[in-house]
Amino acid sequence: MKTIYASEFDKEVIQGGKVVVDFYSTECAPCESLAPKFDSCAEIYGSDIQFIKIFRQENRELANRLEVKSSPTVLFFDNGKQVGPLLTGGIKRSDLMANLDSMISPERAVEIKSKIIKTESHYDTVILGGGPAGLASAIYLGQAKVKTALIDRALPGGQISTTHLVSNYPGFIEPINGYLLSHNMSEQAKAAGVDYKSAVDVTSVDLKAKTILVDEIETIHFNYLILATGASPRPLGIDGEKEYKGHGVSYCATCDAKYFQDKEVIVIGGGNSAIEESYFISKFASKITIVHQFDKFQANKEAQEKVFADQKINILFECEPRAFIKDGDKMYVSIENLKTKQMESISADGIFVFAGMKPNLDLFSSQFEADQFGYLKVSDEMETSISGVYSVGDINSKKFRQITTAVADGTIAAIAITLKQSTVV
């Protein structure tokens, strides 16, 4: 692997055969997450493909010319031509390998993979999930010198990393940007000495053997496990939803509202998220129609008042969506009026769905004691029905799910484990 300057780009990349280029920056959490994956891919694919790194901050002109807008960005070249999709953000090893495989023959890809050496590591505690709950556990365990790894399928931060503003987390007089709050928590945990394995595929978890297999190659042994995998938006399960997800149907206002400047939007839902996010979307969109199944909102009063006072926001109470349809650039929602049973179709440029959340427990089927909605039941110390396995934050059965409650759970589990564990580093 080589690190080059812009002046060497033509010689090393354009005239260089098969080449993969990583534009990286310093003080960049996703770059830190990518670095070991890029290094290990360089070791295994290195005889077929050249691996090159370019420091983006010192080679901005070249980066701009190649439309590299953020770090890390990985580009793939074959005989001077850019091939395959570029990768950016929290880049997974599997995505990197899929692009590399497409540059060589299928037979060679199989041969290369057969030579991958599997690795093993040992931790006292492994935290699965790096939202506020997992990060709070990480900070406490790290500071108590308990050997801890934090594993996340994305970059750490959880739901708050895509929340526009957080105004109710103690310690901040003015509302703080959700991304910044999660970034600070994540850096604090890292500074406490916790090892990160982020943007990875968690292949499997074996609770009996006390192991987690990551990216199909790394087996991580643990004495204690903290589940902190949080919750994800609950899909409506109606026609067209899966098909148009990311192509007209969104679940994240912070991520996507900017694409609807002066455009029309339909919001499905009536809880806190739907109402607060509608207010946020109205900074961009020209018109918002909220479709809600009940005759009043379930959101807090303050948020409701803001939405009722917003001239751009229209509300259809007691209506339910039945299907999403796309025609050209327009999205249509087929809705049923629950009172009259009449169907009608309304149109907009995009649809946002805020229909509640579901616990992220796909890895575990029904191994744990859970409530009727699938959320985990825990003891006062956050221990699940399986000894040595703790669970914290939004995956737990509870009435209120907030950053403060997630952080409280994470704290309790970490202190309980610290008092029990024996291995200190």
Ligand X SMILES: Cc1cc2nc3c(=O)[nH]c(=O)nc-3n(C[C@H](O)[C@H](O)[C@H](O)COP(=O)(O)OP(=O)(O)OC[C@H]3O[C@@H](n4cnc5c(N)ncnc54)[C@H](O)[C@@H]3O)c2cc1C
Binding residues for ligand X, rule: CB under 6 A, are: 128-134, 151-154, 156-160, 163, 166, 168, 202, 228-231, 273, 277, 360, 363, 393-394, 401-404, 406
Asked if 253 and 332 touch (Cβ cutoff 8 Å), the reply is no
Nearer Cβ to ligand X (202/331): 202
Q: How far apart are CA 208 and CA 210, in angstroms?
A: 5
Nearer Cβ to ligand X (16/350): 350
- Structure tokens given for 12: 């090393």
Nearer Cβ to ligand X (71/186): 186
Nearer Cβ to ligand X (16/269): 269
Minimum CB–partner distance for residue 255 and ligand X (Å): 10
Q: Compute and round to an integer the Cα radius of gyration of the chain.
A: 24
Strands 343-348 and 330-337, bridge-based pairing: antiparallel
3-state secondary structure labels for all residues of the chain: CEECCHHHHHHHHHCCCEEEEEEECCCCHHHHHHHHHHHHHHHHHCCCCEEEEEEHHHCHHHHHHCCCCCCCEEEEEECCEEEEEEEECCCCHHHHHHHHHCCCCHHHHHHHHHCCCCEEEEEEEEEECCCHHHHHHHHHHHHCCECEEEEECCCCCHHHHHCCEECCCCCCCCCEEHHHHHHHHHHHHHHCCCEEEECCCEEEEECCCCEEEECCCEEEEEEEEEECCCEEECCCCCECHHHHECCCEECCHHHHHHHHCCCEEEEECCCHHHHHHHHHHCCCCCEEEEECCCCCCCCCHHHHHHHHHCCCEEEECCEEEEEEEEECCEEEEEEEECCCCCEEEEEECEEEECCCEEECCHHHCCCCCECCCCCECCCCCCECCCCCEEECHHHECCCCCCHHHHHHHHHHHHHHHHHHCCCEC
Minimum CB–partner distance for residue 152 and ligand X (Å): 4
Minimum CB–partner distance for residue 276 and ligand X (Å): 7
Nearer Cβ to ligand X (100/406): 406
Minimum CB–partner distance for residue 53 and ligand X (Å): 27
Minimum CB–partner distance for residue 170 and ligand X (Å): 10
Minimum CB–partner distance for residue 398 and ligand X (Å): 10
- Structure tokens given for 387: 């000894």
Minimum CB–partner distance for residue 386 and ligand X (Å): 17
Minimum CB–partner distance for residue 360 and ligand X (Å): 4
Nearer Cβ to ligand X (72/130): 130
Nearer Cβ to ligand X (78/95): 95
Nearer Cβ to ligand X (68/412): 412
Minimum CB–partner distance for residue 406 and ligand X (Å): 4
Minimum CB–partner distance for residue 109 and ligand X (Å): 26
Nearer Cβ to ligand X (370/406): 406
Nearer Cβ to ligand X (223/396): 396
